[in-house]
A and B are shown apart, each in its own frame.
Chain A
Amino acid sequence: AQTVTQSQPEMSVQEAETVTLSCTYDTSESNYYLFWYKQPPSRQMILVIRQEAYKQQNATENRFSVNFQKAAKSFSLKISDSQLGDTAMYFCAFMKQRTMEYGNKLVFGAGTILRVKS
């Protein structure tokens, strides 16, 4: 079974600064995908960024980038130029390669609350 661990229950950052959220995972799968989701108070789950394990290049999406260390099974999220709207719960999630039986089930970490301060 896969597990995802987020060791930082809460983080704070000043507006315009950079913050890094940590995530480690455990799996015996060779093909898989990793995700960061954002959940604001509205409860809507918003996909922030994803990484295919077979890609060595770290994914980036505007102010969001990841540091993917496959051997260490580490997948951290860096948010640059933090904005007040980034305040939310952030979840790291794992998905193994899809099969019809398994689908695209996600295994989530416990989450990190990020507060951006003005």
Chain B
Amino acid sequence: GAGVSQSPSNKVTEKGKDVELRCDPISGHTALYWYRQRLGQGLEFLIYFQGNSAPDKSGLPSDRFSAERTGESVSTLTIQRTQQEDSAVYLCASSPSTGLIEKLFFGSGTQLSVL
């Protein structure tokens, strides 16, 4: 596609429910990142996928958070038993990973609200 696509754009859920957030990276981009942005704060790194290598999960805040990516395509971020503190914008970014420094292309994020 033309850019990084994320769905849904907005998600409202009840505390304790599970949610799945989807990211469609730019075709051909081998690297994919998930970030969380709490209200009025900067972006926090969650997880990084590079091709078929084991993902870097060092930013996941708890075992309620998990993410998958099939090859170099779509990724899903799953939050189980959501809590109110999970309310945030979840941003996905991708990059081609062909050089020392890469421009990250961001999606417009999913606004998650946990009631």
Interface residues of A (CB under 8 A from B): 4, 6, 33, 42-45, 47, 50, 52, 91, 95, 97-98, 100-111
Interface residues of B (CB under 8 A from A): 31, 33, 40-45, 48, 50, 53, 56, 89, 91, 93, 95, 97, 99-104, 106, 108-109, 111
Are A103 and B33 touching (Cβ within 8 A)? yes
In angstroms, how far is the closest chain B Cβ from the Cβ of A83?
Answer: 22
Sorted nearest first, the 5 A-B pairs with minimum C-beta distance are: A108-B42, A45-B106, A108-B43, A104-B102, A43-B109
5 contacts between A and B (CB under 8 A): A47-B104, A52-B101, A103-B56, A106-B104, A110-B41
Q: Which residues of A contact B95 (CB under 8 A)?
A: 103-104
Are A98 and B101 touching (Cβ within 8 A)? yes
> Of A6, A100, A105, A110, which contacts B45 at CB under 8 A?
A105
Q: Which residues of A contact B99 (CB under 8 A)?
A: 98
> Of B45, B50, B108, which contacts A42 at CB under 8 A?
B108
Distance in angstroms between the alpha carbons of A106 and B106 in the assembled complex = 12
Nearest chain-A residue to B110 (Cβ)? Answer: A43
Given that A91-B42, A100-B53 are contacting pairs, would A43 and B108 also be in contact in the complex, using a CB cutoff of 8 Å? yes
Given that A45-B93, A104-B31 are contacting pairs, would A109 and B42 also be in contact in the complex, using a CB cutoff of 8 Å? yes
